[in-house]
Amino acid sequence: MEFDGQPFMGWQRQPHGATVQSALEDACAAILKEPTVVHAAGRTDAGVHGLGMVAHIDVDRVMTPFALMEAINAGLHDVPVAVIACAEVAADFHARFSCLARHYEYRIVNRRAPLTLGAGREWRIRRQLDSDAMHTAAQILVGHHDFTTFRSVHCQSANPVKTLDRLDVARVGERIVVQASARSFLHHQVRSMVGCLSLVGLGRWSAEDLRAALEASDRTRLGLNAPPDGLYFVRADYPNGLKTEHPGQ
């Protein structure tokens, strides 16, 4: 599915605000005539967007995937969430626990002019960024590390040690795109890494400053946590070569 995260308090259902999960569960319950739990590949923060989020529901009612997709989208007509693909999977499939890799993209617009169409969907940085320096420094974070420095104080993960498979930074015109891949991420990890890389791009941090922050394993050594605006859940990978992504990606 794809969704615009701006009006939501994140993925996970909350008792005091709109979330992507609650919108989907309400739409599914109306169709299936029973309470429905939607399990997702990941839990996004408030304001974070989805291009290829994967979720599953257990359905006893006989419906074709196409009919289910159409019905869910009809129920989502007043919120910026859309199911873009739907398929029947094996009974042991789980959107979260079967996932082998998760892929995120962070979008920065590097210009002085304010954002118009991209407002709330990209992070604008006015001063010129050195994207090559950002990419070089990013490779320090790739691999198996203790990412405590880049972890939210509210993170519920039992272990701050993760393996980051990819962290690439590339400029395309006025935009800088950061792509991150791993089996799993800590809460705020991608945003925190991007925030620190932006300091490198601005010349305020060196690559060695980034390395020192990583090795400190101390959240107080974090330089900057990037806003949620530019972050997108792009794709999830599953066994047997199944990869899910937005058709336009």
Confidence bin at 246 (pLDDT 50/70/90)? low
pLDDT at 136: 98
Confidence bin at 244 (pLDDT 50/70/90)? low
In eight-state DSSP terms, residue 11 is S
Residue with tokens 């530019």: 230
Q: What percent of the chain lies above the pLDDT cut of 70?
A: 96
Computed over its alpha carbons, how large is the radius of gyration of the chain?
19
CB neighbours (10 Å) of residue 22?
A: 19
DSSP 148-193: GGGS-TT---S--EEEEEEEEEEEETTEEEEEEEES---TTHHHHH
pLDDT at 124: 98
Q: What is the bridge-based pairing of β-strands 175-182 and 161-172? A: antiparallel
Q: Which pLDDT tens digit goes with each residue over 52-106? A: 999 999 998 889 999 999 999 999 999 999 999 999 999 999 999 999 999 999 9
Residue 242 has pLDDT above 70, yes or no: no
Crossing angle of helices 189-201 and 131-138, rounded to 10°: 130
Tell me whether residue 146 is one of the annotated catalytic residues.
Answer: no
pTM of the entire predicted model = 0.93
CB neighbours (10 Å) of residue 11?
A: 26
Residues 19 and 98: their CA atoms lie apart, in Å, by 23
Q: What is the chain's mean pLDDT, rounded?
A: 94
pLDDT at 154: 82
The active-site residue, picked from 4, 26, 45, 229, is 45
pLDDT at 241: 66
Q: Which pLDDT tens digit goes with each residue over 134-157? A: 999 999 999 999 999 999 988 878
pLDDT at 155: 81
Residue 243 has pLDDT above 90, yes or no: no
pLDDT at 21: 97
pLDDT at 245: 56
pLDDT at 194: 98
Residues 18 and 15: their CA atoms lie apart, in Å, by 9
Q: Which pLDDT tens digit goes with each residue over 181-195? A: 999 999 999 999 999
How many residues comprise the chain?
Answer: 249
pLDDT at 150: 97
pLDDT at 240: 78
Confidence bin at 115 (pLDDT 50/70/90)? very high
Backbone angles phi, psi at 137, to 5 degrees: -65, -35
Q: 225 versus 16: which is more confidently predicted?
A: 225
